[in-house]
Amino acid sequence: MLKVHHLENSRSQRILWLLEELGVDYEIKCYQRDSETMLAPPELLEIHPLGKSPVITDEGTTIAESGAIIEYLVDNYDDGRLLPGEGTQERLAYTYWLHYAEGTFMPLMILSLVMNRIETAPMPFFIKPIAKGIVAKVKGGYLGQNTRRNLDFMEMSLGQSDWFCGDQLTAADIQMSYAVEAATVRSMQPDEYPKLRAFLERMKARPAYQAALEKGGPNKMIGSD
Ligand SMILES: N[C@@H](CCC(=O)N[C@@H](CS)C(=O)NCC(=O)O)C(=O)O
């Protein structure tokens, strides 16, 4: 049976959500993060050389990287509901958002997480002003400007439609969900980006999303405390 190697509080939540939307039977093997470093446990290295999650195994094949997993699952198990038709504008948008989430936006969210961590890390008092100065420079320059530009773009792209590729949920929305959730805790003020927030509310209201949460356990976004 298809197995999801699921790391707590991680991107693999969206793979569970996709499998629930597709109605595929699967089993979950859960892994806990190291409570100090937040890294995945070494057992995940036995599944894939990078030791990251998500990873799935299906019919003797191991597949890592969310985008590749999503493409594999849609190719093999979708009946056409979560993938726009070939040659359409929606299909172009689908390909774009599927790659954009991890290729463009998540690196900004990781840098954001690192900067937030440096700001609050315990360190000798005489180092603190230097560290804070570096963080302020990064946040005020490259990180802040690029994050804002990307969030504005994502908000604008939702336009009048419910999902990133139009009025139908696609697997690209499932890929985007983790990126938008990460932004809410790392980069957005509570009163900003109403369309992105409404997107997350629509996601949470879906029975398949709730079923995935029930099976995978609570999913707390890292960077939310
Ligand atoms: N781009 C990869 C990122 C994979 C990734 O970084 N996963 C995180 C969980 S959200 C992880 O395994 N972190 C634990 C670690 O790096 O040890 C994907 O989308 O699959």
Residue with the bigger pLDDT between 4 and 190: it is 4
Ligand 1 atom with minimal separation from the 67 CA: 19
Q: Which residues does ligand 1 sit against, CB inside 6 Å?
A: 7, 10-11, 39-40, 52-54, 65-66, 102
State the pLDDT at residue 2.
98
**pLDDT for 160:** 87
Question: Which of the 8 DSSP states describes residue 61?
Answer: E
* Mean pLDDT value across residues 17-23: 98
Q: Is the pTM of this model over 0.85?
A: yes
From 9, 52, 222, the mutation candidate for ligand 1 (largest count of ligand atoms within 8 A of CB) is 52
Dihedrals phi, psi of 78, to nearest 5 degrees: -90, 145
Query: 11 C-alpha vs ligand 1 centroid, how far in Å?
Result: 7
Per residue in 164-219, pLDDT (tens digit) is 999 999 999 999 999 999 999 998 988 999 999 999 999 999 999 999 999 999 88
Report the pLDDT averaged over residues 72-100. 97
pLDDT band at 225 (very low <50, low <70, confident <90, very high): low
CA–centroid distance, residue 117 to ligand 1 (Å)? 18
Report the separation in Å between the CA atom of 97 and the middle of ligand 1, taken as the mean of its atom positions.
Answer: 18
- Average pLDDT of every residue of the chain: 95
pLDDT above 70 covers what percent of the chain? 99
pLDDT at 45 over 60: yes
Residue 46 banded pLDDT, cuts 50, 70, 90: very high
**What's residue 204's pLDDT?**
97
pLDDT band for position 43 (50/70/90)? very high
What distance in Å separates the CA atoms of residue 166 and residue 145, rounded to the nearest whole number? 27
- Measuring CA to CA, which residue among 51, 64, 3, 1 is closest to residue 30? 3
Ligand 1 center–CA 129 separation, angstroms: 31
Mean pLDDT within 140-150: 96
Residue 160 Cα to ligand 1 midpoint, Å, equals: 32
pLDDT attached to residue 120: 87
Please tell me whether the peptide bond between 54 and the residue prior to it is cis, using omega within 30 degrees of 0.
yes
Question: Closest ligand 1 atom to the C-alpha of 106?
Answer: 1
Query: Residue 87: left if φ>0, alpha if ψ -120 to 50, beta else—which one?
Result: left
Q: What is the pLDDT, as a whole number, of residue 68?
A: 98
Spatial separation of the C-alpha atoms in residues 94 and 203, rounded to whole Å:
17
